[in-house]
Amino acid sequence: MGNHSVLQVGPLKPSLAHTLAVDYAAAVLPDSSAERADFLTRRGAEFTAAVTSGRTGVDAALMSALPNLGAVINFGVGYDTTDVDAAKTRGVGVSNTPDVLTDCVADTAVGLMIDTLRQFSASDRYVRAGRWPVDGNYPLTRQVSNTRVGIIGLGRIGKAIAERLSAFGCVISYHNRREVADARYTYAASPLDLASNVDVLIVAAAGGESTRGLVSKEVIAELGPRGYLINIARGSVVDQDALVEALLDGRLAGAGLDVFTDEPKVPEELFDLSNVVLLPHVGSGTEQTRAAMEALTLRNLDSFLKTGTLVTPV
């Protein structure tokens, strides 16, 4: 690998971490502050490539401690935990793993929507608790087909979600930073406008400061007591405190959440609500997709080490 040296930042898929250690002699950035500071003082100048994930990232302070860094290789499509502006200023390339996880995340969004509206997980718990013979049939729930669905973020994943739900007869509208050319769905100028005309609001926008709190208290209020929120994007895109309050007060019909503001911490107030489905950030969590993500991560790393370019730069 010539004069290049690789640094692993944060936990990664075990097989990827093993490959980095064995095939690239990668070092691992220590977790504790004291050990990290000593490590970076001694070895920070060695590293030209950092491999990380969307859950950890490389911030501006870490970039400063890695003066010869040339690339941040991100395992995952989301890269909001990496300071892209600081990277651009320093001439550091950033890559992610788009496309390979689109189908699985879109599948998750649809499955989460079905589970939330039909309350299948809650029905399963009802049966397991022995309540069916005692309390009778489970209460009626909300139909999924032919509902009005709004999607925030009509990128690769948002479009894949829309295609799937169109097959359910759902009426699709969306909000994006700008209107998508040739999109066959109705455009809404703001999240508030979108929420006012849908039964289900699906969040598929990228994370980061530009989308922080995009689904605000006002948007949640506009969605209303018969509306549902599905989030498979980033917890930061939704005002989580406002969401919890609305769910507890009955001002929102339900929510399906794969992501949270401070993972792995999840608001415990939601644990007993049958109209809320909680997933541990498993949107892309299939063997096939994670293997494809790992392969693309290594392709980006190999390309940078050999040519100084990235296969999928952001």
281 is catalytic: yes
- H-helix or E-strand containing 132? helix 131-135
212 is catalytic: no
294 is catalytic: no
Residues 177-204 as b or e (16 or more Cβ within 10 Å = b): eeeeeebebeebeebbebbeebbbbbbb
Helices (H), 167-215: 191-195
Q: Do 263 and 235 meet the contact criterion of CB atoms below 8 Å apart?
A: yes
User: Alpha-carbon distance 46 to 189, whole Å?
Assistant: 48
Residues 97-129 as b or e (16 or more Cβ within 10 Å = b): bbebbbbbbbbbbbbbbbbbbebebbbeebeee
Conformational region of residue 281, where left means phi above 0, alpha means psi within -120 to 50, and beta covers everything else: left
Closest CA to 105 of 246, 286, 239: 286
Active-site entry in 163, 218, 263, 269: 263
Active-site entry in 222, 281, 290, 294: 281
Active-site entry in 234, 245, 251, 290: 234
Q: Is 81 helix (H, G, I), strand (E, B) or coil?
A: coil
Closest CA to 267 of 238, 284, 283, 243: 243
In Å, what is the CA distance from 122 to each residue of 119, 137, 169? 5, 13, 25
Kindly list the catalytic residues. 234, 263, 281
